[in-house]
Amino acid sequence: MSEEEKKEEVNPRWDIVNGLYEDIDKRIDELYESDKISYGEIEIAMMMMKEKMLQQKIEIMHHIINDRDSEEGGSAPDTMYK
């Protein structure tokens, strides 16, 4: 892997991040105008998104661990449950 590829993995793509933030902000403004959304409702929606992202991270880690275990043979060490 080249240094440029490693650098790309480490640094977020700020143009994408900022675009997402602007889209979310615009949508919140639209909901305030049309439905008079409250700060509490916005906070609940953000909490739900955070929980969804956590669930996705856990699912990805689960797949990675399962793939690694299947490559290694999948047997647990004898001392694991002692």
Domains of the chain: which residue ranges? Answer: 1-37, 40-69
Is 37:31 a contact under the CB 8 Å cutoff?
A: yes
d(CA 45, CA 53) in angstroms, rounded, equals: 12
Please, what's the b/e burial string for 3-28 (b: 16 or more CB within 10 A of its CB; e: otherwise)?
Answer: eeeeeeeeeeeeeeeeeeeeeeeeeb
Predicted model pTM: 0.62
- pLDDT tens per residue, the chain (82 residues)? 566 666 656 789 999 999 999 999 999 999 999 999 999 999 999 999 999 999 999 999 999 988 887 776 656 666 766 5
